[in-house]
Structure 1
C-alpha cells in the first residue's frame, strides 16, 4: 500500500486546462540511440530498479520519464499532507544491504519530500540518470513480428526499437476529473492533487472547495483547513480512515531494524500485504464484545491499516465479521465528530477494507472546525462547475480555489493510454475492453516481450508496493536472463494460461468482500470501464510461490522461442 500514486498528466487533464506544472529539466532534446535491448517506461521505484538490474546483466536499457527527475509517485505526489501509509523502514529497497544501512529515515510515515530525497539518493548512488530521458512521454509501442522488436514512439516524435518493453508506469498514474460539466469555466484557481504545482499553493484567506475524499483528499483536507478562510468538502463516498500516529523515528528502533533487516525482508516477502503481522487465528464472531472492541482499539491506536485488516481471520471474507468492525469504526467516528449529521455522513456503508482505507492526521477532527463544511453529494448531487464555483442540486457555492482530489483510472489507465499494439496490430486497449487480461499480472497473450510491473492480476495495490515492485522486477529480469542463456528471443503468455489465471484471480476475489464495493479496485470510478476486480487478493506470499513455481517449471504458461 502507498499513498495514491500519481504521474504524468492524462490527456483529459491537459484538454481541460489543468496543465502539468513541473520545473523545466533536461532530457527531451537529448540525442537518443535508435536501438537498445530494453525500453523502460517510468522512473519511479520500479523503473530505477529495473535499470539497475539490466545494467548488471550487461544489457542496454533506456528509461522514459515524463517528469524532470526520478521518483515516480513521489515526484508528482506533492499535494499538502502527502505521506506514505507504510512505515519508512519497510517502504524501501531491499536489494542492496549497503543502501539499507546508509540511508537515514526520519519519520515513521515519511512525507513526500523525504521519500523523494530517498529516490534521488538511489539515483545518485547508482548513477541512474544518464540512462533516463526526462520530460518525455511514450505515445505508442508497436510490435514488429519480422524483427521481433518493439518500436517505441515518444511525444517528441522520437522512435527507439527494443527487444523488450517493460511498463513501469504505476498502478495509479492516469489521473481523472469528475464527469461534470463546466470544469473549464471556473475563473478562480484550479488544482488536481495528482498535478500539484511544485512551488505549492497559498490557501491563506481563501474560500476553497475540494471534491473527493479518497486518500489524497483525506490527507490534504486537514492541511488546507489550517490555512483556508473557508473549506467546503464535497463527498460522494466516505472513506474509512485511521489515525497514523506519526512521529519521529527513535534511534533504537532504527538500529534494531538495520541489525535485523534480512529476517524482516524475508518476512515481508512471505506476508499477505508485504507488511509482516502476526497471523490471526480467530474469527471476530468467536470473541466477546469487550475483547473484540479491545482488539479494534489496539489496531486503531497502533496507526497501522494492516493491523486492523488482519485483526481477525475473517474481516475480509465474512460480512457478519466485517460488520463488527464497521459498527466499531462508526462509533469511533460518531465520538470524534461533534455534529451528528456530519458524523453520520462520514460513516461508510460498504465493508471495511473493500475500498482503499486511509491513514490520516486529525481528519475527522477537522470537521469540528467552524470554517470546514461537508456536502454529502448523495443527498445534494453535484450539478456543474460555474464561473464562480460549484453548483449542486441545492445551491451554488462560491470559491477562490477548487481542488480536485478525484483519483485515477486505476491499474489499467497508464497502460491503455499508450497505443500499445502486439501481434497483427492488435490493440491492448481493445483487448482489455471487457477488463484486463494478464498472466500473473506480468504479461498478456498476443504481446510478446511486453512486461508489466505490478500489473492487473498481481497483488500490486493491495500490498506494500516496494515489496511487490522488487519481486516483479526480479522475476522479469531473471526470465530475460534465462532467455539469453538459452539463446531465445521472445517470451509470450499463452491464451490458455492467461484464461486460467484470470479465472483464478476472479475466484479468489469471489471469496472476499472486495467485489461488494464500488471501488477503483473494480474500475467503478471510471464511467464505461468494465467492473472487474483487478488485483490478486490471495496475498504477496502466496503470489510469490506461484511465480516461483512458474519459473522453476521452465516458465510454464509462456511460449519461449527463438
Structure 2
C-alpha cells in the first residue's frame, strides 16, 4: 500500500534528523527512510578502529536549542565514534524522532509525476510513498568505493571498506593486515591498529600532509567553558569561512618572514585544523605562499620520520600539490607507527596494485603481499554519489545519475533543474560538500529548505524547481570562485578525480560558509530568485 505524505527524507544523520524535526514542527506529515538499523548517518556506518571527530566536539553541534546543546557533555576535545553515536541517539530520543523513521530500508527508486506534482518513492523492502517533497539527506561521503580492485571476491581472508566495518569489530590480534589508502580515514585506522596486529602493510599511493592532533580530556572546567560560549558560537560559526570557531586572522604580505614563522609555529602547536583553516587564506590562491607553508609542514613531518626511505614514500614532494588543497588529516603518532618493526609502508605510486589474489595484494610488478585481512580506506564517490546510486527520475524522464554523469550541476547545492520538489543537503556546489564544519552547514541548508517549503505553501503553490537560467548563474559563479583556487588544479576527491569517469568540477563551494549563507538568504529574500514556483 502506498502511503501519502507531505515530505519524505532520505537519511537519519545530522541533516536528516534536523530536517525531519523542522518539518514536523511545521505541522507537515513527514517520514524518514534510513538504510542503517539506527540513527547516526556517517557515525552509524563509520565504526572502523580509530574513527573520531576532527572538528572540536563543542562546535560539531546543533545550535537551534540551547538546552539541547547544554544537556549533553563531551568527554574530550575530539571524541571517538562510539561517543558520537551515543550523542546522535541522544538527539533522536530527546526530539522523539524514531517514531517517524523506517530503518533498515534503502530508497531504490523515485519518480516525479508532472501531472500531480508529486514523487513516487520505493524502497528495497517493498514500501512505497506518494510525497510532495523528497529531501535527500544522504551525506557527502556515504557512497563507498567498495569494488575498487579486480579479484576482490577471490581473497581468502576478510576484505572490507572502512565504511562497512562490522559493529562487533574484527579480531586483528597477530594477523597479517593490509591497509589500502592513507587519507584521513586510513590514517586513523593505521595509528590505531599498529600495536594490535602481527604485521601491517600500508599501501601508499599519494603522500599526505598531516597535522598532529592534541586531544585533551574534558572535565567540569572545560565543560563550563564551552557551554558558556553557546551564544557566541551560535552567532559566529555560521558566518566564518569554514563554519569552525576560528577564521583567517593574518595576511601574508603584512608580516615579516619571522612573524609568519611564529604564526605557523603557534597554530601548528594548537593540535587542530587551524593551520589549514585559520592560518593564511593565501595558501588556497597564491602558489608562492602555498609552497612556503607546504615546506613548513614537510619540515615538521620529516623531523619525525627521520628515515629517508619513509620520507620519500610518506611526505609530499615539492610540486606534488600544495598543503590544504587536499583534505588535511589530523593524526596522533601516526608517523611514528612506521618506525615500528611490524609496519611497512609499501609505495604503489609507480608500482600500483594490479589485483587482489586469494592470498593477498598483487602489485603490477608481480610482487604479492600475503595477508589475512585487507582494510580498504579508498574513499567515496563524494557529494553526488549517494543520490546517483538511487534511480531518480525527474521531469520529462530526466535521470539524475545521467545528468550528473555528464556534468555535475546544482542550484545553491540544494536543488537541480529538471527535478521539481527534490531538495538535497551535502550535495555538490555548496560548502557542505567538503569545506565546512558539517553541522554548521547542514543546519543552514535544512533551515533554508524548511523556509522555502513554508514560503511555497504560504503562497498556495505546490511545486518549486530551479530555472535553467538560475542554475546556470549559480554554476557560473561557483566555477569562477573555485577556479581561482589551487584546489581546482589538484587531483583529489574534492574535484571528483578519484572516481574514474566522473566529470571534473570542484565539488564544494569555495567562497566561504558566511558568503554562501548570504547568497542563499539573498535568493530567498528576492522571492526565490532563480527558482520557479507553480
TM-score when scaled to structure 2?
0.97
Partner in structure 2 of residue 521 of structure 1: 494
Cα distance change of structure 1 residues 178 and 242 upon mapping to structure 2, 3 Å threshold: farther
Q: 2:349 aligns with which of 374, 378, 381?
A: 378
1:222 aligns with 2:194: no
Q: 1:320 aligns with which of 288, 292, 311?
A: 288
C-alpha distance after superposition, 1:226-264 (max 9, x if no partner): 101110000111222111111212422321222231121
Partner in structure 2 of residue 414 of structure 1: 386
Partner in structure 1 of residue 311 of structure 2: 343
Q: Tell me, in whole angstroms, the C-alpha distance in 2 between the residues paired with 1:239 and 1:178.
A: 23
Q: 2:524 aligns with which of 551, 556, 559?
A: 551
> For residues 497-508 of structure 1, what are the structure 2 equivalents within 5 Å?
497-508=470-481
Q: Number of matched residues?
A: 529
Q: Tell me, in whole angstroms, the C-alpha distance in 1 between the residues paired with 2:315 and 2:260.
A: 20
C-alpha distance after superposition, 1:125-167 (max 9, x if no partner): 1111011000000001000011110000111222111000000
Q: Tell me, in whole angstroms, the C-alpha distance in 2 between the residues paired with 1:473 and 1:38.
A: 13
Partner in structure 1 of residue 438 of structure 2: 465
8 Å CA contact retained: 1:178, 1:406: no
C-alpha distance after superposition, 1:456-512 (max 9, x if no partner): 111012000001010001000011111111111011100001011111111101111
Deviates more, 1:237-246 or 1:108-117: 237-246
Q: Tell me, in whole angstroms, the C-alpha distance in 2 between the residues paired with 1:455 and 1:189.
A: 32
Q: Tell me, in whole angstroms, the C-alpha distance in 2 between the residues paired with 1:483 and 1:404.
A: 45
Q: CA deviation at 1:313?
A: 3.2
8 Å CA contact retained: 1:300, 1:308: no
> For residues 157-236 of structure 1, what are the structure 2 equivalents within 5 Å?
157-177=126-146, 179-236=148-205
C-alpha distance after superposition, 1:381-436 (max 9, x if no partner): 21111110111134111011111111000000101100111111110111122322
8 Å CA contact retained: 2:59, 2:245: no
Partner in structure 1 of residue 414 of structure 2: 442
Q: Tell me, in whole angstroms, the C-alpha distance in 1 between the residues paired with 2:9 and 2:251.
A: 45
Cα distance change of structure 1 residues 294 and 344 upon mapping to structure 2, 3 Å threshold: farther
> For residues 217-366 of structure 1, what are the structure 2 equivalents within 5 Å?
217-283=186-252, 287-348=255-316, 349-366=320-337
Q: CA deviation at 1:33?
A: 5.9
Q: Tell me, in whole angstroms, the C-alpha distance in 2 between the residues paired with 1:391 and 1:286.
A: 52
8 Å CA contact retained: 2:247, 2:277: no
C-alpha distance after superposition, 1:100-148 (max 9, x if no partner): 1111111100110111101000111111101100000000100001111
Q: Tell me, in whole angstroms, the C-alpha distance in 2 between the residues paired with 1:58 and 1:217.
A: 44
Q: CA deviation at 1:84?
A: 1.1
- 1:152 partner SS: strand
Partner in structure 1 of residue 114 of structure 2: 145
Q: Tell me, in whole angstroms, the C-alpha distance in 2 between the residues paired with 1:60 and 1:240.
A: 47
Q: 2:425 aligns with which of 453, 459, 466?
A: 453
8 Å CA contact retained: 2:337, 2:343: yes
Cα distance change of structure 1 residues 358 and 178 upon mapping to structure 2, 3 Å threshold: farther
> For residues 83-162 of structure 1, what are the structure 2 equivalents within 5 Å?
83-162=52-131
Deviates more, 1:398-407 or 1:388-397: 388-397
- 1:40 partner SS: strand
- Where in structure 1 are there 5+ consecutive unaligned residues? 1-31
C-alpha distance after superposition, 1:336-387 (max 9, x if no partner): 0132111121112211111111011111111111111111111322111111
Q: Tell me, in whole angstroms, the C-alpha distance in 1 between the residues paired with 2:232 and 2:13.
A: 26
Partner in structure 1 of residue 457 of structure 2: 484
- Where in structure 2 are there 5+ consecutive unaligned residues? none
8 Å CA contact retained: 1:299, 1:307: yes
8 Å CA contact retained: 1:143, 1:423: yes
Q: Tell me, in whole angstroms, the C-alpha distance in 2 between the residues paired with 1:104 and 1:130.
A: 25
- 1:415 partner SS: helix
